[in-house]
Structure 1
Amino acid sequence: MALGAVLAPGLRAEVEQIPGFPEVPTPLLAALAMLQPTLLLASGVLAGVLLAPRLGLRSHLAACAARMPAGSPFPRELPLALVLGVANGVALAGLDMAFAPALGNASQDG
């Protein structure tokens, strides 16, 4: 809810520019602004919980909480995960730089 409180003043300014928009209390506006991301997060978590076992995916965090066995695959998989994470970051930064000229000022608005 803290994020909603931080975003509410800017959201209030945006809403006040809409002609005919009814007066809405700031706390309610903040709660409504957080509703969609909360529902999207909940649906993503639910899909992950339901589909992970069927796809053979596992959680290293859950295994660690359950006292990871000595033959854990985590140490073997960590270098690959780090390399793929860095490669993904570099690819996204490259795409951002490549498309920035086409987006103009829209890429600066954040």
Structure 2
Amino acid sequence: MYELLKQKNATLAVAESCTGEALVSDKLTNIPGISDYFPEGIVAYSNKAKITILHVPELCIATHGAVSPQVAEAMAKGARKVSEASIGIGITGIAGPGGGTDKNPSDWFTLQLQVIILPK
């Protein structure tokens, strides 16, 4: 990941919901030199945090649910914009052990990317 970001001179921001403890951000920050390419990792566990920090539209959450590809995409877009990164990742889901539904069972995740291609 580091080498690809460095090669493309790209930056990456992550918005995590279901991981709670910033699992992806934690793994990224263990990479030496990543701070040049990883400006921000955001844990937005509640719907309020998704709306106020990442600017996920309330209607998106109301229509699709907090655990949906649409919300993950909005989280990725919000992370990218808030941090001014070239790439945003949004992760939401149900980590378990309970709380799942037939539509979104426990241990269900969705990850969406929001990428802006920068001219050379």
TM range (shorter): under 0.3
TM-score by length of 1: 0.23
Higher helix share: 1
Using CA pairs below 8 Å that are at least 6 residues apart, which structure has the higher relative contact order?
2
Higher strand share: 2
Work out which of the two has the higher radius of gyration on C-alpha atoms and give 1 or 2: 1
